[in-house]
Chain A
């Protein structure tokens, strides 16, 4: 079956603009995760969804970042008033659930460049 897909694959924007990043999880996966990978750094957890509820938003770097999910389907990560430090690869993952054995499967990522 299809894996996790993300769009766009690349996004170049000007400082101060808003951007939306999209993630389509694997069909049937109830849990969805967003991570960020800045150049030369490890992956950072941003937020996760169980269904369309986001129990933990503690990884979001600032109130310029928000995310939503429609049912157990598509999720959108929105960054308002982008800054140069937002430049990173944003990775989405999904899993069947969040219990002990739940392998996370990752999408190809969206590379965001803020000029």
Chain B
């Protein structure tokens, strides 16, 4: 059974600082790894999807890396803004289903 862990559980930074969010997974036979953002009371917004054959994926200020052999992924958010405050979830995709971590709750202070 795939187990996904996210560290830290919560993070508070001043505006402008770079964010580093960590995700680890136990079963390296993944199809891909997906990062999501969840705002309070809302659904999930997909941020980045890294296929198992890729090492990283970038979108604007977001960059996600994937190291399948060590079972790790890292999400970097450059030059954080108050609007980046949310919970970030990583999910490992095995076969057809996603296994989620518990999330990292980010607060960016203005």
Contacts and interface: CB of A to CB of B under 8 A. Distances in A.
Given A100-B31, A100-B32, A105 B100 contact: no
Interface string B16-48: 000000000000000110101000011111100
Contacts, number: 62
Most buried by A among B44, B49, B102: B44
A89 to B, nearest CB: 8
B100 A42 contact: yes
Most buried by A among B49, B99, B100: B100
Nearest to B103: A42
B81 interface: no
Contact-size category for A:
20 to 34
Contact of A91 (B32, B43, B93): B43
Interface string A42-67: 11010010100001100100000000
Contact of A104 (B51, B98, B99): B98
Contacts of B49: 101, 103
Interface string B54-85: 00000000000000000000000000000000
A98 B95 CA distance: 7
Interface of A: 31, 33, 35, 41-43, 45, 48, 50, 55-56, 59, 91, 93, 98-109, 111
